[in-house]
Every structure is written in C-alpha cells, then in structure tokens.
Amino acid sequence: MDLYEHQARELLHENGVLVPRAEVVDTAEAARAAAERLGGRVVIKAQVKTGGRGKAGGVKLADDPAAAELTARRILGMDIKGHTVHRVMVAEPVEVEREMYLGFTLDRAAGRFLAIASAEGGMEIEEVAARRPEAVARIAVDPAEGVTEAKAAEIAVAGGLPRETTGTIRRLWTVLTAHDALLVEVNPLVVTRDGSIVALDGKVTLDDNARFRQPSWDAADDRARDPLEARAAAAGIGYVKLDGEVGVIGNGAGLVMSTLDVVAGCGARPADFLDIGGGASAQVMADGLSLVLDDPDVRSVLVNVFGGITACDAVADGIVRALDTVALTKPLVVRLDGNNAARGRAILGQLAHPLVHQADTMDGAAARAAELAGSAASSATGTSDPSAA
Ligand code: GDP
Ligand code: MN
C-alpha cells in the first residue's frame, strides 16, 4: 500500500526527520485558513498517490492566504495521471539551498535493501538517473546489519551528500524497518538556507504482507471504502466488489477468476470476486455467503468449489450453517466437485431448500445462476413468478 505524502510526512516526523509545518485540507476556504495559521506564505501541494506532481502543476507557492485559497481551488479537482485531487497539503515554505535525493528500497534479487542517494535531487531525478547513472549512488544494505553510523557515512559519501545528513539517513532506515516499508523515498531532501536538513517530500510504500502486525494501517487504507470490502477485510476473506448481479464464491483465486469468465460467457455479470481460500473452514464459507447475500446488487449466487484441502462436505456444512443465521432470499446455485463431492451434494440434497439448486458442471452452474439472476429480476416485477400464475 502506498501512502499519501502527508501520511509519509507523519512517519518521518515521528522518527525525528525535520519536515515543514503543514495541514491537510479538502476545500479552498480551509486552505486559506490554514495559510493564515502557517504565517501567510505557503506551498499548496496536491495529495495524490503518484509522483511528478510538481511538473503537472500540483505544487504551487502562494504568497498570502487569499492566493492560497485561489491556488487550492485550482489544484483541488485536478487530474494528475488519472488521480483526482481530493485534498491538498498546505505547507510552510522552505528556503532551499540545495536539493538532494535519498531513499531506501528492497532489492528482491539480491535479498537486500538498497540505499539510493544523489546530490542532484529534485524534479529531474529520473533524467539524471537515465543520463548520468553515476550521479545516483546505489549502496547495498544488509538487513541484519542495518544502517549503522558507519553505513550512513558510506551512503552519504557515495551519494555526495553532506556529512550532516547521516542522522537523517539512519532515521529513514528506522522508518523503513519499524513500519515494514518496501520503499521510503525523500525527493527532495534539502539543505535549507540556515543549514538544516529537511524532507520536502515523502513517499512510503508499506509491505501488505506485514499487515497482520501493523493494525494501525487499516485507518490509513482508503482502498476498502466499499462497506462490503471493509467487512470482508475484517473477516480475512479475499473479496472484491464488482458491478454485476451474479454473486460468485469459489475456492482458489484461479477457479474464482475462471468462474467470473464463465458467468460473463453466459451473458451475465459477476457481482463480486470471493475466494474462500484453499484451506477454508465451514465458518469461512458461512461468512462469505452472508457477505454476498448482503450485497443488494446480487440477484443469484453461484458457489463453485473444487474440493481439495477444503472438502466439499465442509463447504456444504458451511452453507447449511450460514442458512441457520442468514435468511436465503436469493437463489443459490452450488457446484461441488473433487474431494468428498458426493457427501457434500448429499448434505445439500437433504437440506431440500427451495432456493438451493445443485449443478454438476461449472458451465451448467453458471448458466443456471445467470438464468436465475434474470428470472429473479423479472419476478420482482411480477411477470414470471410461477406462484402468481
Ligand atoms: P513531486 O513533484 O510530486 O515530487 O512533488 P514535490 O513535493 O517533490 O515538489 C516538487 C518540487 O517543488 C520540489 O522538488 C521542490 O523543488 C519544490 N518545492 C516543494 N516545496 C517547496 C518549498 O517549500 N520551498 C521551495 N523552495 N520549493 C519547494
Ligand atoms: Mn518529490
């Protein structure tokens, strides 16, 4: 997960890196008020998760609060490389003496981290790196040794950074390791007129694999805005909300992806991607089913399971258990194959629920679910409801 600049700035600040005073706002009026609090003259910066904001016109100096309001109004709503600007950071301007580049990133091939440092930081760093790679130093960092004072000095010397940056170099390393980041980048890191070392920008990418031990990330994550996705994340279920009307549940990402394709091939649209996983329990099946049934767009549900470690009887038990607590209001098509398929089918057969349909093949199940989604839609208007005839 990438962080916004203002979130990265927080992490740097907490770890002792100097950053300009700043506030984040989402209206032009609030930008004006923030500028008043910050002393009048401010820099207005678009908060989007992409680089090159400066070149795109998303970073502007404003001389006074009135100019801050006008500038914020221009930047809010702007599109930067496909990202809409919803918020701006209003920051105290810094008198820049020189701009440098400093970052740590993971070198997967080498199984090490990499410090990247350059005396020629700023908006042209990509051009510098392409045209004169020798101006951008890359120093391997052994994760077990970390960045000692000697290592920090080595990085500073290699990149041509002043000796005074070693403290900042070590603090950036602390941000990377303490927060399980894959990337911590400051461009530009500046020397100010009065000789301080200040991070003028910040980019941090957190390692999603470390989410289990970083509970504070959930608050920073704005991807799970959809309430169903948020609920799935809390239950530890792999779920992505889609636009269609056929709810899809399967085990294993590959099988679920193919199920989406087969549903689409039947002329219907999948309402979600839900993977109960390879070793799912009956409880996970129950949680997943109640989640999909709670999606108001879903008109039929297709459960497609190839039993392996999760045997089909456990999946059938999960469905039965889910129906104890969740009222089934939409047709459910179940295709069970693989480990203990016969037992699973028998359990569902015994259930004899009028809305639960079984199918032998994936294609047949998808066609049935698509058809039921259609008939569910028309029965809502009362035209093809057999009980009304
Ligand atoms: P990016 O283009 O997305 O990387 O955004 P940055 O935050 O790096 O800002 C772009 C450029 O604006 C920086 O490289 C600086 O040259 C300049 N800049 C940003 N804030 C200030 C500031 O407070 N003072 C000065 N003098 N320049 C700034
Ligand atoms: Mn930058």
Predicted local distance difference test score (pLDDT) of residue 388: 38
Any idea what DSSP says for residue 4? Answer: P
Predicted local distance difference test score (pLDDT) of residue 380: 41
Token digits for 84? 């809409």
Alpha carbon nearest to ligand 1 atom 8, residue: 201
Give the residue extent of every domain in the chain: 1-20+95-223, 21-93, 225-388
Catalytic site includes residue 185: yes
Active-site annotation holder among 69, 120, 154, 185: 185
237 lines ligand 1 (CB under 6 A): no
Q: Compute and round to an integer the Cα radius of gyration of the chain.
A: 27
In three state form, how does the secondary structure of 190-225 look?
EEECCCCEEECCCEEEECHHHHHHCCCHHHHCCCCC
Alpha carbon nearest to ligand 1 atom 12, residue: 54
Q: What is the mean pLDDT of residues 96-104?
A: 98
300 Cα–ligand 2 center, Å: 48
Peptide bond into 188 cis (omega under 30): yes
Least confident of 151-155, 229-233, 368-372, 375-379: 375-379
282: left (phi over 0), alpha (psi -120 to 50) or beta: alpha
- Residues that constitute the known binding site for ATP: 45, 52-54, 94, 99
Q: Which atom of ligand 1 is nearest to the CA of 121?
A: 14
pLDDT tens per residue across span 37-92? 999 999 999 999 999 999 999 999 999 999 999 999 999 999 999 889 999 999 99
Predicted local distance difference test score (pLDDT) of residue 358: 97
pLDDT tens per residue across span 8-39? 999 999 999 999 999 999 999 999 999 999 99
188 Cα–ligand 2 center, Å: 6
357: left (phi over 0), alpha (psi -120 to 50) or beta: beta
CATH no. for 225-388: 3.40.50.261
Catalytic site includes residue 239: no
pLDDT confidence tier of residue 225, bands split at 50, 70 and 90:
low
Alpha carbon nearest to ligand 1 atom 19, residue: 200
CATH no. for 1-20+95-223: 3.30.470.20
pLDDT tens per residue across span 330-385? 999 999 999 999 999 999 999 999 999 999 999 999 999 999 999 544 444 433 44
Would 21-93 and 225-388 be classified into the same CATH topology? no
Pick the CATH number of 21-93 from 2.50.20.10, 1.10.600.10, 3.30.565.10, 3.30.1490.20: 3.30.1490.20
* Bridge partners (DSSP) listed for residue 117: 102, 137
Active-site annotation holder among 23, 69, 101, 245: 101
52 lines ligand 1 (CB under 6 A): yes
Average pLDDT, the chain: 92
Instruction: Write out the E strands in 321-386.
Output: 332-338, 356-359
Q: What is the pTM of this model?
A: 0.69
pLDDT confidence tier of residue 103, bands split at 50, 70 and 90:
very high
